[in-house]
Amino acid sequence: MDAQPTPPAANLLAQQTSPYLLQHAANPVHWRPWGEAALAEARANDRPILLSIGYAACHWCHVMAHESFEDPETAALMNRLFVNIKVDREERPDIDHLYMSALHALGEQGGWPLTMFLTPEAVPFWGGTYFPPAPRWGRPGFRQVLQGVAEAYRSDHEAVAQNTAALSRALAAMSAARPGEPIGPDTLDRIGGSLLAATDPEQGGLRGAPKFPNPPVFRFLWQERFRTGRPAGAESLHRLLERMSQGGIYDHLGGGYARYSTDAVWLVPHFEKMLYDNAQILELLALAHAAAPSPLYAARAEETVGWLIRDMTAQAVGGRAAFAASEDADSEGEEGRFYVWTEAEIDTLLGADSPPFKRAYDVTATGNWEGHAILRRVTPPGDGAEEARLARGRAALLAARAGRVRPGRDDKVLADWNGLAVAGLCRAAAVFGRPDWLDRAAEAFDFVMDAMAAKDGRVQHAWRLGRVTAAGLLEDQAAMARAALALFEARGEPRRLAQARGLVAAAEAWFADGAGAFYTTASDAADVPLGPAARPRAAGDNATPSGNGMMAEVLARLWHLTGEDGFRRGAEAVVAAFSGRPDALAASPTLLAAADLLARGACVVVAGDPAQPAAQALLAAALAAPDPAVCVLRAADPAAVPSGHPAHGKTPAAAGARAFVCRNGTCGLPVAEPGALAGMLAGAPA
């Protein structure tokens, strides 16, 4: 198996398509892409593996590259001592998950770049994240690390064996099934209370710094407001959105939110913008606006969608395009250079409009970050004339910024992140009355299904330059099924429901564990190391929702829409598969929200010709409901509602459109007025 041609002593990344890997294609390090050839090389030479994982928009990945991977002396040491493998975490989140979990098992805080040291069999034995070139900040220098790890591998076999065995056991334990009882109101109350206690009552988000948006957490807390009738969950989301949307984490000129802020007040971001964050924040803006309309939310939604369409549209094929993955933090070798300003620049560009603009956006002679100004809104909204003047100032600065060197863009298409974007656009289109956003959502969805679908029904994970570059994962099937249901509810097209069913069937065929849950990787995945015991199976959310959490949501939503009991049983099984770890459930807010959707969800059935204004008005009210646990089903012919659905066979009491709100297997009396329907779905005051 290992008797393969000796690979060249050279960097082998130039033939890859990942923008992150291509960023390292000219390094003097003899990088290999992840795969059997690289692993075989390590085994054949009995040489440990240095695994470096990052992503194109990662600032500290760039720093370590400039300091170490571009340095000939450091590269020579790496080449002599290790087989060096580069992985794009966005392209291979399954590989990243395995080794990030190993780092956590070592008691280390995670982050990128992830630097792991593996045996030739790809078993981890030590690791870290960023290492400086020389000892600094209490961290050893990278060259010291290289020499120390290589020496330990050669001479301290017992310690290496102990580490590999312990980490293998830890990874197997993380993936082990821990089924339990159904998640009920008491569990939701307990976890909702603990998450609320962790929120920042002044600045929003979770307490402390750095501050991340954490959309899955705040979507769950928002949904708790409807379950309990208590306002705290809603208040936590409003506070998050208001503070972020006026802070430096938001791009006040071009739209879109950066990945996180380095401080506790949302001022200084790491400037990279990720598709997944903005997709989920867009959905949160729509939910919050649906309950408590806000000009701020409407503006940020429009600006963020504008950024998505203008700057994040990926390569088109056949007249359709999905969305790119991210924009970088750095340009011209400096973090944030594209985004920040000096007072003199703003004075020159805005002239007489400069003083009020500077007051509004915290621009001073000394700056608020390293002598520069990160724009953030620090004054309350003014009258129409004041806001128009500020808008002219923003437009002038945006035009001037267009002449700067732009940060790099990672234009690969990721199925799961595009699924999140489609769902966010569908929600925002309904709440903000923008059918053009719905058109764009359908275009992105269709691109993924056309360009990235396998013949067996799975959707693949990554695509760039006409090539699928990574196999599909559970998150891809789940996020795209969720997106298909969002499109189905928005437009009522039967093919969207069929697509959701197909993606669920693919997940069950290739990812199911046979006991109710799903593995992250497919059963035929050929290049995932560490064996079946470590095959990832998790429900914990990260910056994106977990695959199992989304699958539980999809199955619950399908049950409400179709009445088919198999979907209910499937959703219950996914939830129960992880409920035996009560201490871990707080890290699974998407799964918790799915449990609530299953138990409390409503299906609004709109009976009547959907082309008629009366039906359209009822549909608009239902689709704009602020409760995420509301589903919408169109029924031009009520007799065609699925036979297992509680609304099957119901007809309006009089001519014209009517809506039935169905919960817990029964439907209420028909409703004819959109305002009355909206009131029924609004729950407690926001």
Q: What is the DSSP string of 561-620?
A: HH--HHHHHHHHHHHHHHTT-GGGGGG-HHHHHHHHHHHH-EEEEEES-TTSHHHHHHHH
Q: What sign for the dihedral angle of Cα 455, 458, 460, 465? A: positive
Q: How many CB atoms lie within 10 A of CB 61?
A: 26
Among 447, 430, 432, 433, which Cα is nearest to 487's?
430
CA within 13 Å, CB half, 394: 17
- What CA–CA distance (Å, rounded) separates 446 from 439? 11
Report how far residue 112's alpha carbon sits from residue 59's, in angstroms, rounded to the nearest whole number.
9
- Name the residue among 636, 504, 629 with its Cα closest to residue 564: 504
Q: In what order do the strands lie in the sheet with 467-470?
A: 413-414, 462-464, 467-470
Neighbours of 386 (CB within 10 A): 13
Residue (of 563, 561, 566, 643) closest to 604 by Cα position: 561
Q: What is the pLDDT of residue 636?
A: 83
Assign domain 19-175 to its CATH superfamily.
Answer: Glutaredoxin (3.40.30.10)
Q: Is there a contact between 644 and 570 (Cβ–Cβ < 8 Å)?
A: no
Q: Where are the domains of the chain?
A: 19-175, 185-329+409-600, 339-401, 602-682
Q: If DSSP codes are grouped into helix, strand and coil, which group holds residue 313? A: strand
Q: Which residues pair with 128 in a beta bridge?
A: 115
**What tokens appear for 50 in the block?**
């240095």
Return the DSSP state at 499.
Answer: H
For the chain, the residue count is 686
The second-level CATH assignment, the architecture, of 185-329+409-600 is Alpha/alpha barrel (1.50)
pLDDT at site 654: 56
Q: What is the rounded distance in angstroms from the CA atom of residue 65 to the CA atom of residue 24?
A: 8
Q: What's phi and psi for 369, nearest 5 deg?
A: -160, 110
CA dihedral 199, 201, 207, 211 (to 10 degrees): 100
- Phi/psi for 84 (5° steps) reads -105, 120
Tokens 């870290």 label which residue? 128
Exposed (0-12), middle (13-18) or buried (19+): which is 495, by Cβ within 10 Å?
exposed
Cα torsion 215, 677, 571, 322: sign = negative
Distance CA 630, CA 602 (A): 5
Contacts of 158 (CB under 8 A, 6+ apart): none
CA angle 471, 473, 478 (to 5 degrees): 135
Mean pLDDT by 10 residues, the chain (686 residues): 66 96 97 95 95 93 95 96 97 94 90 95 93 86 94 88 90 88 95 97 96 98 97 98 98 97 96 97 98 98 98 95 95 93 98 97 97 97 96 98 96 98 98 98 98 96 96 98 98 97 98 96 91 91 97 98 96 96 94 98 93 95 98 84 85 75 92 95 66
CA 420, CA 426: separation in Å to the nearest integer? Answer: 10
Return the structure tokens found at 557: 């939503």
> What pTM does this model have?
0.94
Residue 409: which H helix or E strand, with range? Answer: strand 409-410
| Separation of alpha carbons 155 and 172, rounded Å | 27
The pair of structure tokens assigned to 611 is 């082309």
**Phi and psi dihedrals of 316, rounded to 5?**
-90, 145
Cα(334)–Cα(332) distance, rounded to whole angstroms?
6
For residue 630, how far is the Cα from the chain centroid? 22
